[in-house]
Each structure stands twice: as C-alpha cells, then as structure tokens.
Amino acid sequence: MNVLVDTRWRKLTWQRIIIYIACSIFLLHFFKSFSASSSSSVSLTTLPWYQQPHPGMPPFNQYATVNLTQHEREKLTQDMIAKASNLVSRAFPDIQTTIMGASLNKEQVQQFRSLVECWTSSGKWVKMDGPVKVMPHFQDPLYAKCDRKYKGEGQRDAVRYVWQSTCEPVKNNMDHSVNRDRWCKVLNGRHILVVGDLVQYQLHEIFLNTFRDGPTVCFGELNCREHTLCNEPYQETHLKYLRNDRLSNNQHTNINQGYPTVDIIEMPFAKPSFGRGYPIFILNRSPVHETDEEFMKGLIETMKTIRKNNPNTLVIYRSSSIGHPFCDDAEGPIEGLTDSDYKVLPFGWSETKRRNLIAKTIIEGAGGVYVDLGALTDLRPDGHVGGQDCLRYCIPGPLDSWMHILYQVFLALDGKIPLEK
C-alpha cells in the first residue's frame, strides 16, 4: 500500500511543486504578519534625556494614574493636599506653625520654610569651567566604576554641575563649601537617625563623606552601625541609618520565617529608645505601594508615634526623587519635565510629585521640616550609577548639592544665617 502511494505521489511532479510554493508563500506571509504585529505592539517613547526613542515601560504599579488627563491629575493633587491638611490639623492641632526641636517663632518659621523652598525650587544646574572641588568619597566601592571609565580624562561631567539657587547663600556658594566645624557646633551633640530606602542610604554615605576623613565599616544597607560625626573639641555626635521603606511605625521586624522580602524592608525605628537617643530624624518615604489615603494616614500615624516618644524631635523629611530610565543616554541636566513625561515613568514614579506634596503638608503640619531635594535630582538624568541602576547616583556627583543645602538648613534652624530671601 505504501509503495503504491509513493509511486502516485512521484507522478504528481507539477502538483508537488505548486504545493511547495504555496506552503512557502503561506509561511513567509505568516512570519511577516507576526513580525509586524509584534513590532506594532511595542510602543516607543521618548523623554528629554533620550538619544533615541526607547520601548515604553508599563507603570508596574496598580496605583499609577497615568490614564488620567493632566487636568484630572492636577485636581487629584489638590484634593489629596486638602484631605491631608484636614487630617494633619486634627492630629496635631497645636503645632502647625511650629518647628519642634528648633527655637524659631511663628514668623521665623514662615520665613524659614519660604527660604528653604526657594533654595530647592528656584534655581538651575550650572556647569563650571575647569576642575570642580568635589566631596571626597570613602564608603561603598560600588562607585569606583563611575570614575574608572574616565581615568586619564579628567573629571566626569556629572560632577562639574553645581546647583545655583536664586536665593542666598546657596546662590553664590558655587564651590559647595561646607564648614564641618561650624556644622558640629550647630549639632551640639544631637545624634542623627537617618531612615528610608536605598537612596536614603546614599544620604547617610554623603553625611559620612562630609564629616569624616576616612572610611567606616557598615555591614549591609539595612541597619548600619552607629558612626561618629563630631568629636572633640565639639560635643560628640553620632549618625545611624535604618532601612524602612514605608516609614512604618512597626515595633518588630517581619523576618518572614527567616526569608525577609527584598522589595519592601521595614526595620523598626519608631521606638521610644530611638526617640530618646536621637533628637534628629531625617526621613524619606518613596515606594508607591498603596492609595494616597493610606499613604497619608500611615505617615500621620508615624509622626504621632515620633511625637509621643519625644515631642521635641527635629524631623527633617527629604522629598523623593524619580529614577531616569535609560539613564546612560543622558549627557547633562534637563530643564524640567512635563506631566506627559511623568506619565511615561514606571515603578510609581509618575505619582512622585503628588506624593511629595502630600508629605510636605503632613510633615509641616506635624511640626517638621520638609526639604525638596528631589526637585534638584529630578533634573539630573546624568550622573547615575547606570546600566540597570538608574535610581542611585555616583558619589561624588549630583548628591553633593543635597549636603550643601542640608548644611544651610541646619544653620538657618539655629539662627546662623538671615531668614529673609
């Protein structure tokens, strides 16, 4: 039977050729259609620092509002600010015009907050001619690769940009000079607890670079040992870092049966012992993992716990920065971002501006200090570690300006510089 079928098939020579050609045409058409369909399904996007369009990234966040119009997002922001203001005024009815841990009167508090806002929101990145004085770096060896590829070529361009505000003294202090002795006098033995995510860990590192002359040991990025910032002839002052991405006021670490999750870390920091031992808290809360209402209620509860443990704790809140996808494309600072640009950003970064304004309302309403350092680095897609890490920055780099502004903040709180713009 098989022999008979084979013999008949060989006799159908032309029919065979036609079938082969038809099959080939069908397969070619199929693959072309599939390829065209695949390429059309990948949308290309562009951002101010892109050298060419890149594939769009999904929000990766169920709370992103990227489907709303700009007008709807602006209205949502105003509604959430009003809601946060109402909640915080009920939680802290007596200290909204006060900065706890500072000796400023009501008028001075208003002047101080206006001045700090001017330092961060009214300015630009200026490229300096020639070599720039940069902060020495002694800590994480990760950043060595930032300079390695520029070896023999002078300074990286990223370190040659300096933040210039329209308000003094940030306006004319273009060499980023920080007087360690003067800062130690202002701290006067008040220990500092830095709490937040991995970018906040970088803030902890540039504190060490500013105050110390050599490296210190820090075992990991979760719960760094206490370091000495100031010593004789000044009051001894310590710095400690704890990672708590949500700023939650939990009292115990969730070790998840010995396997802590890697996405969200919540090391306990809102304990009475920390309130007594650290008169200064520097906080940040970046991840977008809940609704705006849950975010504001959680932050208010944390501030209530801090005030309960030590009413006079000086709380300084650093605003959150965005990451810059495909940051290796960047060649320098940008002038700004539109709402359309923000909506392209993944990982909840599209919501950063609104969350920062909510945090500002709550922190100031609870007697704290809000410093919008994120406004500076949002304009710096350059200077990142790069590759897959377009959130953290090389050190030295754009974060040097953070330390300069914080230095001025501490001086102003202590009455060492004029508060008028």
* Cis, peptide link before residue 268, omega less than 30° from 0: no
Partners of 227 in the β-ladder: 239
Q: What percent of the chain has pLDDT over 70?
A: 80
Q: Which of 204, 238, 198 is nearest to 221 (CA)?
A: 198
Tell me the per-residue pLDDT of 94-121, one tens digit each, with 9 for 90 and over: 887 899 999 999 999 999 999 999 999 9
Torsion of CA 266, 356, 380, 396, to 10 degrees: -50
pLDDT of residue 259: 46
Contact 318/196 with Cβ under 8 angstroms? yes
Looking at residue 177, what is its pLDDT?
Answer: 79
| pLDDT beyond 90 at 16 | no
Q: Is 380 helix (H, G, I), strand (E, B) or coil?
A: coil
Structure tokens at 161: 């940009």
Could you tell me which residues come within 8 angstroms of residue 251 by beta carbon, excluding any fewer than 6 positions away?
A: 268, 270, 271
Closest CA to 407 of 211, 239, 202, 261: 211
Among candidate residues 409, 344, 401, 343, the one with its CA nearest the CA of residue 376: 401
Assigned domain for 53 exists: no
In a domain, 70, yes or no: no
Distance, CA of 246 to CA of 295 (rounded, Å): 9
Q: Which amino acid is located at 348 in the chain?
A: G
**pLDDT beyond 60 at 267:** yes
CA pair distance 386, 400, nearest whole angstrom = 18
Cα–Cα nearest to 174, from 160, 188, 192: 160
Q: pLDDT-derived band of residue 244, with 50, 70 and 90 as boundaries?
A: confident
Query: Is the Cβ–Cβ distance between 221 and 262 less than 8 Å?
Result: no
- In this predicted structure, which of 16-25, 149-158, 320-329, 392-401 has the lowest mean pLDDT? 16-25
* Total structural domains within the chain: 1
Which residue range is the domain that position 346 belongs to?
A: 75-413
Instruction: Indicate if the pLDDT at residue 39 is higher than 70.
Output: no
pLDDT digits (tens, 9 = 90+) for 326-344: 999 999 999 999 999 999 9
pLDDT at 5 over 80: no
* pLDDT computed for residue 289 by the predictor: 87
- Cα–Cα distance for residue pair 316/306, rounded to 1 Å: 12
> Does 354 fall in a domain?
yes
How far is 291 from 86, CA to CA, in rounded Å?
Answer: 17
Q: In this prediction, what percent of the chain has a pLDDT beyond 90?
A: 61
Model pTM score: 0.86
Say which residue, 172 or 414, is predicted with more confidence. 414
| CB environment 72-108: b (16+ within 10 A), e (fewer) | ebeeebeebbebbbebbeebbeeeeebbbbbebeeeb
Q: Report how far residue 400's alpha carbon sits from residue 137's, in angstroms, rounded to the nearest whole number.
A: 11
Query: Tens of pLDDT along 347-378?
Result: 999 999 999 999 999 999 999 999 999 999 99
Residue 232, domain member (yes or no):
yes
Tell me, yes or no, whether 41 lies in a domain. no
- Residue 174 vs residue 157, higher pLDDT: 157
Does residue 22 fall inside a structural domain? no
So what's the pLDDT on residue 38?
41
**Distance (Å, rounded) from C-alpha 68 to C-alpha 88?**
27
pLDDT for position 198: 86
Q: For 116-141, what is each residue's pLDDT tens digit?
A: 999 999 999 999 887 777 777 766 66
Residue found under tokens 């945090």: 359
At position 323, the amino acid (one-letter code) is: G
Query: Taking the CA atoms of the chain, what radius of gyration do you get in angstroms?
Result: 27
Higher-scoring residue by pLDDT: 25, 132? 132
* Cβ-Cβ contacts under 8 Å for 12 (sequence gap 6 or more): none
SS3 for 92-105 is CCCCCCCCCCCCCC
Instruction: Calculate the average pLDDT of the chain.
Output: 85
Work out the average pLDDT over 77-81: 98
pLDDT at 51: 96
Whether 54 is covered by a domain: the verdict is no
Q: What is the pLDDT of residue 98?
A: 95
370 beta partners: 317
Q: How far apart are CA 282 and CA 241, in angstroms?
A: 9
Question: pLDDT tens digit string along 278-325?
Answer: 999 999 998 888 999 999 999 999 999 999 999 999 999 999 999 999
Residue 331 lies in a domain: yes
Domain of 145: which CATH number? 3.40.50.1110
* 417 contacts 218 by C-beta, under 8 angstroms: no
d(CA 194, CA 186): 18
Pick the residue with more confidence: 8 or 310?
A: 310
